[in-house]
Amino acid sequence: MLFFLGHQSPASAPPKASSPVRLSETYELANIILALTDYGKTDRWEVAQQSAYYQQVRAYFAPYASHPLLTRVNYSREKWESYLSFRTDAYAFSFDTNSRLVRTIDFHANQGFNPFEEHLELIHDFVKTTGFRRFYRDHLPYYQDLATAYLQSQRYGEMRHFLEREFGERPEIATYAIVVSPLVGRMNCHRIVAGVGTDFISLPDFLLTGKAPHTVTQAEIASGTHMLFTELDHAFVNPLTYQHRALLRANFTVTKWDKGSGYDKDSVSTFNEYMTWAVYDLYVQTYFPAVAANVSQDWALQNATRGFFASSLVNQELTHLYNNRRRGQTIRDLYPALVKRLGIRQASLSQPAITDFSFDNQTVTDSITTVILHFSEPMTPCQSLDLIRVVEQGGSARQDRLVLTPETNKLVWTAQNTTLLFTLPLLNGAVNTLVFNYPWKTQITLRNSKGVDLPPYSRINIKVATN
């Protein structure tokens, strides 16, 4: 079954409802199966585990933990193509009148991968043995309520208006679908399914944890729109990048901008990832100006963990051009100038690192310690700094966010901003780990003078003796 916020329609039919959100019984089936595998249970990001619904899934299907299907599809992160294909290809199937799965759409998420169809007989047995269809029917009101809340919180109409204003309308996505499941934790993807631009998307935490709408902050809403926006805007960004591919090849060398993201087979794919997130920055600045700086910074750091280490720099370059554009200019008009600016930046592009620090491989005896950090290149000096202190003690760990200032911590930059000194309280009899550029926890990032961030989760360990 495929539902349009409660209205049943064949999977191959065009949308008949105004909402683009789709609930698919077979897609949910695939996500439940993957959530029950050993990998699905243990990877903290792959399956969204923060909802009460997730606990209901685990409890209901616990008696069937030894079903052979769960071993056969126990994909790892390294086998992400198989995982994504199993999950996403299920959308191309429907149950017939005999509760048999049949393909209704000629669609494959990744060419050369066909794991859902390959395991069809075991899936049939799983459905019959577990009573999956009854479980799905019982939870249908929850799925529908979630889909309604999702569309309301995402400001989809606002997104479309912004993108169409900045890039021009895309007639080919006049029909558009968003397929949701409360179990998807990562690997959002955009695909064309039966001629319909379709995003398979993860849901914001505040929806999964059941927060009341009036308690959700602007920052949570702005951040929560990121997943949908950065998939939707691919439909606008990718075709325009292709038009400028010759200019891009002359100014954007993938090996200089990408540190193993998986998109680094060509410059176009890597640039598109940078660009979709940079356009999101402008969207947040336009509609959520009060929280835009912190939200954008967090997502830039997150993007850096994927291999796009210069995300803050690219975001800043596009923002600079946009804020200084001529009257009537749009992002579409700024494309050539942005690519050329990145070409200039590329010549000296580098990512800073902590090269060494005081007390490396030593045990300190004073709980108030002066820490000296040495960086590989000049940094942008910040007047204050926050970091996360992680203390491992007695078999457990605790985290504290510390804000350092010149007045309280003697924070000072020296040696042409390649060295940072500060005093810091440390806990005795424990390893104190100081973490810098921690996404969603630190608010002041360390970055070099060129605008490239220190790698997220950069850390140093200081061992303090027991007094």
* Residue-wise pLDDT tens digits, 303-333: 999 999 999 999 999 999 999 999 999 999 9
* Residue-wise pLDDT tens digits, 350-367: 999 999 998 877 788 877
pLDDT > 70 fraction of the chain, expressed in percent and rounded? 95
- In whole angstroms, give the CA distance from residue 78 to residue 103: 27
CB < 8 Å & 24+ apart, contacts of 197-201: 197/172, 197/173, 197/235, 198/22, 198/91, 199/228, 199/231, 199/232, 200/27, 200/87, 200/88, 200/91, 201/227, 201/228, 201/231
300, 316, 346 — which closes off a domain?
Answer: 346
Using the predicted structure, report yes or no on whether residue 4 has a pLDDT greater than 60: no
Reduce the secondary structure of the chain to three states and give it as a string: CEEECCEEECCCCCCCCCCCEEEEHHHHHHHHHHHHCHHHHHCCCCECCCCHHHHHHHHHHHHHCCCHHHHHCCCCHHHHHHHHHHHHHHHHEEECCCCCEEECCCCCCCCCCCHHHHCHHHHHHHHHHHCHHHHHHHHHHHHHHHHHHHHHHHCHHHHHHHHHHHHCCCHHHCCEEEEECCCECCCCEEEEECCEEEEEECCCHHHHCCCCHHHCCHHHHHHHCHHHHHHHCHHHHHHHHHHCHHHHHHHCCHHHHCCCCCCCCCHHHHHHHHHHHHHHHHHHHHHCCCCHHHHHHHHHHHHHHCCCCCHHHHHHHHHHHHHCCCCCCCHHHHHHHHHHHHHHHHCCCCCCCEEEECCCCCEECCCEEEEEEEECCCECCCCCEEEEEEEEECCEEEEEEEEECHHHHCCEEECCCCEEEEEEECCCCEEEEEEECCCCCCCCCCEECCCCECCCCEEEEEEECCC
Confidence of residue 392 (pLDDT cuts 50, 70, 90): confident
Comparing 18 with 446, the larger pLDDT belongs to 446
pLDDT at 2: 46
Does residue 203 lie within any of the structural domains? no
Does residue 211 lie within any of the structural domains? no
Which of 11-25, 221-235, 383-397, 404-418 is predicted least confidently?
Answer: 11-25
Quick one: 340 and 389 in the same domain?
A: no
* Angle, alpha carbons 270-450-251 (nearest 5°): 40
* Cβ pair 178, 2 in contact under 8 A: no
pLDDT at 210: 87
What pairing do the DSSP bridges indicate for beta strands 7-9 and 2-4? antiparallel
pLDDT at 110: 87
Using the predicted structure, report yes or no on whether residue 113 has a pLDDT greater than 60: yes
CA-wise closest residue to 24 among 96, 91, 98: 91
| pLDDT mean across residues, the chain | 91
* Residue-wise pLDDT tens digits, 181-228: 999 998 888 888 888 888 898 898 889 998 876 788 999 999 989 988
Quick one: 394 and 447 in the same domain?
A: yes
pLDDT at 345: 97
Quick one: 277 and 366 in the same domain?
A: no
Quick one: 341 and 379 in the same domain?
A: no
Comparing 395 with 24, the larger pLDDT belongs to 24
- Taking residues 132-161, report their average pLDDT: 92
Quick one: 169 and 282 in the same domain?
A: no
Which of 27-41, 156-170, 448-462 is predicted least confidently?
Answer: 156-170
Quick one: 94 and 189 in the same domain?
A: yes
Comparing 301 with 187, the larger pLDDT belongs to 301
Confidence of residue 174 (pLDDT cuts 50, 70, 90): low
- In whole angstroms, give the CA distance from residue 272 to residue 237: 7
pLDDT at 172: 66
Which domain does 252 fall in, by range?
233-346
pTM over 0.85: no
* Residue-wise pLDDT tens digits, 414-449: 999 999 999 998 888 888 999 999 999 999 999 999
Using the predicted structure, report yes or no on whether residue 7 has a pLDDT greater than 70: no
CATH number of the structural domain spanning residue 458 = 2.60.40
293, 327, 346 — which closes off a domain?
Answer: 346
Q: How many domains does the chain have?
A: 3
pLDDT at 173: 65
